[in-house]
Homo-oligomer: A and B are copies of this chain.
Amino acid sequence: MSPAPGPRPGGRSARIQQAVHASTRKLLDERDRADITVPMIAADAGITPSTIYRRWGDITEVFADVAIERLRPDTPPRETGSVRGDLVAWAQEYLEEMSSPVGRAALRDVVMSGETNPLQCATFCRTQIETIVGRGEPVASGVQGAVEHVIDHVVAPIIYRILFDLDPLEPDRVEVLVDQALDAAVRV
């Protein structure tokens, strides 16, 4: 995994980011997000509200920034001995995390922010899937083709059902979707 982009570790800018993230997470644990304001986060973090406005713009971007850190994978995808097994394990874990209350809220915060955060979130997924597909034998559609198949047919239905409050996919169904996506990638 490449290092997280962001301010120089240990610098003033990084310390402010850490403090704002910690205060925001703490406030999110304590109360409704609709009741949280920039001045409340600033007071908790021991900085001025204008520091937050200058750096993040508004509270939506603060929430999205915290959400992105929650969504950032901290380990490479688990190895099970086969691409199929790795993808099933990854997708089932992803389904579980994203459909938890914290995962749902993080997804919504990311989608709400109009900046680069939604693409960053999609890129986290893509990178994990690329790693897995890259471990296997070459397929007819190439690594990129297979990755697109998995995004459209495994990731998209997982996320669509969470965001639109439909019944979440069953873990067994995730296995079927992975098989279909791999099958399509080989056939193409």
Any chain B CB within 8 A of the CB of A184?
yes
**Set B34, B152, B155: member contacting A177, Cβ < 8 A:** B152
User: A153 to chain B: which residues have CB within 8 Å?
Assistant: 152-153, 157
Q: How many residues of A contact B (CB 8 A)?
A: 29
Any chain B CB within 8 A of the CB of A40?
no
Once the chains bind, are B160 and A155 in contact (CB under 8 Å)?
yes
Any chain B CB within 8 A of the CB of A16?
no
**Set B112, B152, B164, B169: member contacting A112, Cβ < 8 A:** B112
B-contact bits for A150-164, CB 8 A (1 contact / 0 none): 011101110111011
User: A118 to chain B: which residues have CB within 8 Å?
Assistant: 163-165
User: A160 to chain B: which residues have CB within 8 Å?
Assistant: 151-152, 155-156, 159-160
Once the chains bind, are A157 and B152 in contact (CB under 8 Å)?
yes
B-contact bits for A28-51, CB 8 A (1 contact / 0 none): 000000100000000000000000
A163 closest partner in B (C-beta): B111
A1 vs chain B, min Cβ distance (A): 20
User: A164 to chain B: which residues have CB within 8 Å?
Assistant: 111, 118-119, 121-122, 159
Question: Which chain A residues numbered 141 to 188 have a C-beta less than 8 Å away from chain B?
Answer: 151-153, 155-157, 159-161, 163-166, 169, 177, 180, 184
User: A184 to chain B: which residues have CB within 8 Å?
Assistant: 180
User: A163 to chain B: which residues have CB within 8 Å?
Assistant: 111, 118, 163
Q: What are 19 pairs between A and B in contact, CB < 8 Å?
A: A108-B112, A111-B112, A111-B164, A118-B163, A118-B164, A118-B165, A119-B164, A119-B165, A119-B166, A122-B166, A152-B156, A152-B160, A152-B177, A153-B153, A153-B157, A155-B160, A156-B161, A159-B160, A160-B160
